[in-house]
Amino acid sequence: NSQQSPVHFDLVLIPSLLVLHPSALPILFQEEVLNKEATEGEAVTLHCKLSKSAPVEWRKGNKVLKPSEKYKIEQEGPFAELMIRDLDLADA
């Protein structure tokens, strides 16, 4: 008749490990598009830099700008650039 002491178990809750993959991180502007002044008839270039490479869509109001004689659009990694040629008042 040996007496045994009670055994106690402690319950330990371990929060699950959250692993962030680079693709899950938000894309932020590292350099935002700045206002520029230019002369009618000339060209102006706007650019921005993102925190990582991602597709950039340039818009004027609700209209998505596409490459054309008027608009030159380039992107290399996180750097995006829009050139507007032959400026007129409607481009403001």
Threshold 0.95, pTM exceeds: no
Contacts of 73 (CB under 8 A, 6+ apart): 58, 65, 66, 67, 80, 81, 82, 83
Instruction: Give the span between the Cα atoms of 79 and 35, in whole angstroms.
Output: 17
pLDDT digits (tens, 9 = 90+) for 57-85: 999 888 999 999 999 999 999 999 999 99
Average pLDDT in the 13-20 region? 59
Examine the pLDDT at 3 and tell me if it is beyond 70. Answer: no
pLDDT digits (tens, 9 = 90+) for 23-43: 667 888 888 888 888 889 999
Domain boundaries 16-91, CATH class? mainly beta
Question: Where along the chain do its domains lie?
Answer: 16-91
